[in-house]
A and B are shown apart, each in its own frame.
Chain A
Amino acid sequence: MQHLDDGTIHAWLDGALGTGEAAAVEAHAAACRDCADRVAEARGLIAASSRILTALDDVPAHVVPVERPAAAAAAWAAAPALAAVPAPAAAAPPARWGHRYGRLAAAVAFVLAGTLVITREANRHEVASRREMPRAGNEQRLQRHSAPAPSNAPAAAPQAAPAPPAALGGAARRAEPAPAVKPRVKSFAQEARQQAAAAKKSVAGTNTRALGEAEKPADTSFRTTGVPASSTLAGRPVGEGKSLRLDAVVVTAQSTSATNPPSPPRLLSVDSVERGGISVRRQTYVLQGGSRVVLEVMPAPAVPNDSVAPAAPAAARADSSSAAIHVLRWRGADGTRYTLSGSVSIDELQRVRAALGVK
């Protein structure tokens, strides 16, 4: 038998060949290494082209998506649980681009999250600048805003400026004519001082263990970077205390970022295509950076050419030649074949697969 041409391979993979011809093609592909490679490449092209075409579903504004067919709607309902759970027979809600109020809430959440990030960044900058600033100069600046102290007052004399940190920050804001951007940063710094003052109070008043229990995530870093175990905190001058407060801010920022892992892939759409008489479910996900991947789920009986396709998760042949789109294929324990493709790296596809929990 001659080598298979592309048209025959694609027709076979699409289930368009008759029984006898399909059997002949399968037998040849199983025996011929070159044709087996071409079959693998054709599978990659099918998955890649499907993924590219799904991008065309992003249409201009002022439209409403159409009602999905019953099969796709059932798949939509079952999508969060993925293929491991059979699709329920109950009618699924019609697909919508997203509720207006839901998007509003998301926008508010986004603004709040952004504000939090800016706050943390401002605190970090404050920390960096203060670390670089000579401690004596720092103390002198605080005294200038809190009380009319003489300019040549000794820098390491905390008794000269005994104002509480909160009142100190407020006085500083009122007294200092700052440029347009500065008041916002100053308020962040004031907040940091207040937090740090509270931290210092609890540390100095009792012991370090109390702080560790109150702020568990920051506990280890706080003690290792900010407070030597043998130090006598209550007896420290104010200048020492300030460095302690600033370290606490940094630790808080780190612990906050550590509790916000990358968001999981977001399901964008579910539809189904018919291949070889079998409905293949196709789920499109949006990753955190905006890239999209497509997961195709093909039931076990519909998979042709099992003898040729790799059983373990593996990249298709098209992966090596095409840098833009990668394809990951594997077979589940029940024989279901999964194809995950997208314009992301293989490692990213592996992460997506792990995030989706598809075994």
Chain B
Amino acid sequence: MDDAERLFRTYHGMLVRYLTRRLGDHDWAEEVAQETFVRALRQDHLTNERAWVFTVANNLVRDDARRDARRRARLALLREETRDDVVEPEPLSLERAQDAALARRAVNALAERDRLALLMREEGLSYEEIAAALHLSVGSIGTTVARARRRLVEQYEALREPRRGSTGHAAS
């Protein structure tokens, strides 16, 4: 197994999951991940490769968001053309779709730094790696992650409350 294959096998899964959770679009996540690994292959040597991979991916997302809509339209067209080649996912139940929507809203309500720190932590990055990727001090990561977790849960529950209240009212 060469270095490129090892890098891909080691980080591709977690990177795509991280990007999917961040972007809410699996295809976009795959695209960013691919570009990240292309750039990684151009590097002669990576000292902190996991932090480097996530840093580059974050930068690509930031740059990608600035591009015009024409590129997205073209990607959508390509996606349509290759639709026959992909396996369709299991249809979401209403409950799961609602759950995913609430989770998305709760995550989006977090501050950018808190959100990225939490998502990277969920992918197993160490505090040092998160600090390197976000250009923060290591000592602040614990507070950042703790705040992100608490706010995420509180936000999620606050979003669920009206639904539960309406359900209870309907039941009574």
Contacts and interface: CB of A to CB of B under 8 A. Distances in A.
Interface residues of A, number: 55
B95 A56 contact: no
Interface residues of chain B: helix, strand, loop or mixed (majority): helix
B157 A56 contact: no
B61 to A, nearest CB: 15
B119 to A, nearest CB: 7
A341 to B, nearest CB: 11
Contacts of B64: none
A69 B14 contact: yes
B83 A98 contact: no
A52 B153 CA distance: 8
Contacts of B150: 6, 45
A323 B86 contact: no
Interface string A1-35: 00001111111001010000000000000000000
Interface in B141-172: 141-150, 152-153, 156-157, 160-161, 164
Interface residues of B, number: 60
Contact of A290 (B9, B26, B94, B104): B94
A72 B9 CA distance: 12
A46 B149 contact: yes
Contact of B9 (A7, A60, A69, A292): A69
Given A55-B100, A58-B100, A11 B153 contact: no
Nearest to B127: A16
B118 interface: yes
A56 B104 contact: yes
Q: Counting chain B CB atoms within 10 Å of each CB, which of A275, A289, A292, A318 scores highest? A: A292
Nearest to B122: A53
B152 A49 contact: yes
A56 B153 contact: no
B103 A52 contact: yes
B126 interface: yes
A9 B146 contact: yes
Nearest to A16: B127
A56 B103 contact: yes
Given A45-B149, A52-B103, 19 more contacts: A7-B144, A11-B127, A11-B145, A16-B141, A50-B122, A53-B21, A53-B119, A55-B99, A55-B100, A56-B100, A59-B89, A61-B88, A64-B86, A96-B87, A97-B90, A98-B90, A103-B90, A324-B164, A325-B156
